[in-house]
Structures are given as C-alpha cells and as structure tokens.
C-alpha cells in the first residue's frame, strides 16, 4: 500500500489476485487485415472483460489489497464510467461499499451499471466543477479510501495484467508482438501494459492512441512534459476525456512509448463498425481508437511485412444509438 513505482513483480502479484475474477480475454486474429498487410494482426478483446472494460483489472487489484486489511471503510472513486463500473463491481464482489463521483453527462448505460453493482453515484458538472476536488470532498466526509482511475500504482499493476495475457497468449503459439497499440486516456492501461510487455519483449514498439483534440499524451510525449487539453468535452470518446496525462503514468510512458497516435471521431466510428461487421464485437468509441489507428494504417512509418501487431480493444459500454450512428456511416474496407 506504500508502494512507489511499478515493477513487473507488482503486475505478477496482480495477476494472482485477479485469477478466477477477471476474464482472460481472448486475443483474436484479424485474418483479412493480416492478409491485406502481409502481417499477423490481432485484437486483445478487453471489451469482453468483466464490466465491459479493462478497468475491472485495476479496480479489483486495488480493492482486494484494501479489503484484505480493512473491510469497513468505504471506497471513493471518480470516473466518467468504466473505472466507476470496475470499482463498483469489484467492491460488490469483495463486500465493500463504493461511492462514485461521475460527470452529469456520463452515458446512462454506465451510470446504471454502477448502481446495479450497489455503487452510490455522486454527480458533478464536468464543465463547471472540478472532479478531483469533489472526489476529495466526498472522501473526507466519508473518511473513505480514494482509488484514482490511473495515477495509482495498484491500478496500473492491475491493468498491466492485460499485457501479461498477451505475452502468454502469443508465446503459447510460438509468436511475439512487434507492435502494440493501446487506447489511452490518463495512461494507466498504457503504463501497466508497457512494463509487462517490455519485461518480456524489450524490442516491442508501443503506441498510445487518443482522439484528435484529446491528444494530451501525444503532445506531452513530444513536448517532454505534461501538457493539457483545451477542451473537456465534445468528442464521442467519453471514456478518454481526461485533461492531462497522469503524474505517475507519464514518466513511465516517456520511457516506453514509441509514438502517440491520434484518430478522428469519424475514424473511430469506422473502427466501431468494422468491429461490429468483421469481428462481431461491440465497442464503445474510446475502446475503438487503437483499432482505428490500425485500420487507418497509422503504423505505416514503423510496420514491416511479416511483423505481428496487437490493437487493444479497451471497452464495449456503448449505447445502441451511438453504435447505430457509427454503423450508418460504415464504408467497408473490402467490398
């Protein structure tokens, strides 16, 4: 609990805690794309994770460590939705009480799931109120444990187990990944996976992928310091609307990430439709950006024929209407 930094041993311990709780999500091949690009292309389907996103991993890893020492103190988390669901469901499974600070415009499907898991929702106005100060207020009032969505070593270690999965899944068929694309908001998933993947495959190139306009990580990596986004809403990727990279995640990502890639909302919609039609998978916008980068050939500067590429699909908690819009604009890559 007094841990500082993120080591492979933390991720291995997280993997033990998650056994039988998190789903070892499938690594699914993309046969047509692999043919078209003469490579070996895969998706890591974290949308099939418990609660519909990778966030359950980090949440359960953090809450299990808390529950082992203290069953009584409530948990407070702040999240636009997926971390909220992960925390609420992990709390339910571990017998803890969870209070979640969510923006007033969080998708209904995500708010409902938090409530279904027994989580107590505290709403705030994303445009006029500061999430962190509200979360702090709730934490102080309840004398609760606060679990940050990404800037928490326990959370990062949990997310890193998705990287261990990929290593085990590809190793079991005699392969390794040359490139891994990771959907990025605050950088918790990217940081955790980077430590796990580079421990086993030091030459694997890693990329964060963000929505255009919310490319704080890409710009921060270029600038060599954390820079902020100008906007706080207005894009379809509700899961990726964080103002700036994490204080703890950023130095890790500076060390591990080859490049920060960005995709447009329209490219994201095309990827959601591709996942629907070609993979039979439901993706939310924020869960589709890494696939979008792959489909739009944004790896062109690095990828060489014969190499292996994994795109992480980070979540599937989408309203039917939002997916429906994406499906309407679909332009198949192959006719």
Contact positions vs its own copies (CB under 8 A): 23, 25-26, 28-29, 31, 45, 47-48, 50, 52, 109, 112, 116, 276-277, 279-283, 316, 320, 324, 327-328, 334-335
State the nearest-atom distance from the C-beta of 322 to its own copies, in Å.
12
State the nearest-atom distance from the C-beta of 126 to its own copies, in Å.
25
State the nearest-atom distance from the C-beta of 31 to its own copies, in Å.
6
Do the Cβ atoms of 58 and 157 come closer than 8 Å? yes
Strands 205-211 and 257-263, bridge-based pairing: parallel
Give 1 or 333: the residue with its C-beta nearer to its own copies.
333
- Give the C-alpha separation, 226 to 220, whole Å: 5
Sheet holding 120-124, edge to edge: 120-124, 98-103, 75-78, 145-146
Give 31 or 306: the residue with its C-beta nearer to its own copies.
31
User: Which residue, among 176, 168, 143, has the nearest Cα to 309 in the 3D structure?
Assistant: 176
Q: Residue 28: helix, strand or coil by DSSP? A: strand
State the nearest-atom distance from the C-beta of 141 to its own copies, in Å.
28
State the nearest-atom distance from the C-beta of 130 to its own copies, in Å.
32
State the nearest-atom distance from the C-beta of 189 to its own copies, in Å.
17
In order of 38, 100, 125, 286, the CA distances from 84 in angstroms are 40, 6, 16, 15
Give 222 or 277: the residue with its C-beta nearer to its own copies.
277
Give 129 or 325: the residue with its C-beta nearer to its own copies.
325
Give 34 or 254: the residue with its C-beta nearer to its own copies.
34
User: Which residue, among 79, 75, 88, 69, has the nearest Cα to 2 in the 3D structure?
Assistant: 69
Give 6 or 292: the residue with its C-beta nearer to its own copies.
292
Total length of the chain: 335
Kindly report the number of other CB atoms within 10 A of residue 162's CB atom. 26
Q: Residue 137: helix, strand or coil by DSSP? A: helix
Give 20 or 305: the residue with its C-beta nearer to its own copies.
20
- Give the C-alpha separation, 181 to 208, whole Å: 6
In order of 5, 134, 219, 260, the CA distances from 311 in angstroms are 26, 34, 21, 14
- Give the C-alpha separation, 265 to 286, whole Å: 10
CA-angle at 5, arms to 73 and 24, nearest 5°: 75
Give 2 or 321: the residue with its C-beta nearer to its own copies.
321
State the nearest-atom distance from the C-beta of 247 to its own copies, in Å.
32
- Give the C-alpha separation, 209 to 182, whole Å: 6
State the nearest-atom distance from the C-beta of 56 to its own copies, in Å.
10
User: Which residue, among 148, 171, 165, has the nearest Cα to 11 in the 3D structure?
Assistant: 165
């Amino acid at each position: 609990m007094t841990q500082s930094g993120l080591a492979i041993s933390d991720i291995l311990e997280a993997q033990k805690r998650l056994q039988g709780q998190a789903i070892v999500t499938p690594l699914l091949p993309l046969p047509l794309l692999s043919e078209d690009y003469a490579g070996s292309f895969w998706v890591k389907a974290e949308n099939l994770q418990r609660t519909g996103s990778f966030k359950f991993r980090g949440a359960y890893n953090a809450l299990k460590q808390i529950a082992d020492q203290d069953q009584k103190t409530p948990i407070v988390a702040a999240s636009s939705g997926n971390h909220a669901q992960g925390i609420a469901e992990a709390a339910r499974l571990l017998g803890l009480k969870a209070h979640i600070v969510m923006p007033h415009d969080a998708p209904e499907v995500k708010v409902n799931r938090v409530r279904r898991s027994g989580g107590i929702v505290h709403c705030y106005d994303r445009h006029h109120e500061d999430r962190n100060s509200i979360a702090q207020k709730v934490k102080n009032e309840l004398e609760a444990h606060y679990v940050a969505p990404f800037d928490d070593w326990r959370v990062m270690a949990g997310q890193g187990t998705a990287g261990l999965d990929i290593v085990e899944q590809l190793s079991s068929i005699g392969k390794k990944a040359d490139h891994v694309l990771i959907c990025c908001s605050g950088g918790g998933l990217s940081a955790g996976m980077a430590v796990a993947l580079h421990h086993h495959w030091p030459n694997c190139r890693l990329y964060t992928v963000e929505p255009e306009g919310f490319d704080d990580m890409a710009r921060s990596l270029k600038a060599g310091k954390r820079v902020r986004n100008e906007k706080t809403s207005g894009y379809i990727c509700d899961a990726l609307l964080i103002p700036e990279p994490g204080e703890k995640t950023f130095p890790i990502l500076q060390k591990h990430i080859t490049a920060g890639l960005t995709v447009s909302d329209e490219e994201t919609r095309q990827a959601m439709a591709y996942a629907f039609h070609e993979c039979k998978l439901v993706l939310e916008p924020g869960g589709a950006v890494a696939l979008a980068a792959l489909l739009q050939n944004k790896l062109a500067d690095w990828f060489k024929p014969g190499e292996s590429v994994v795109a992480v699909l980070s979540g599937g908690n989408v309203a039917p209407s939002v997916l429906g819009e994406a499906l309407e604009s679909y332009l198949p890559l192959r006719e």
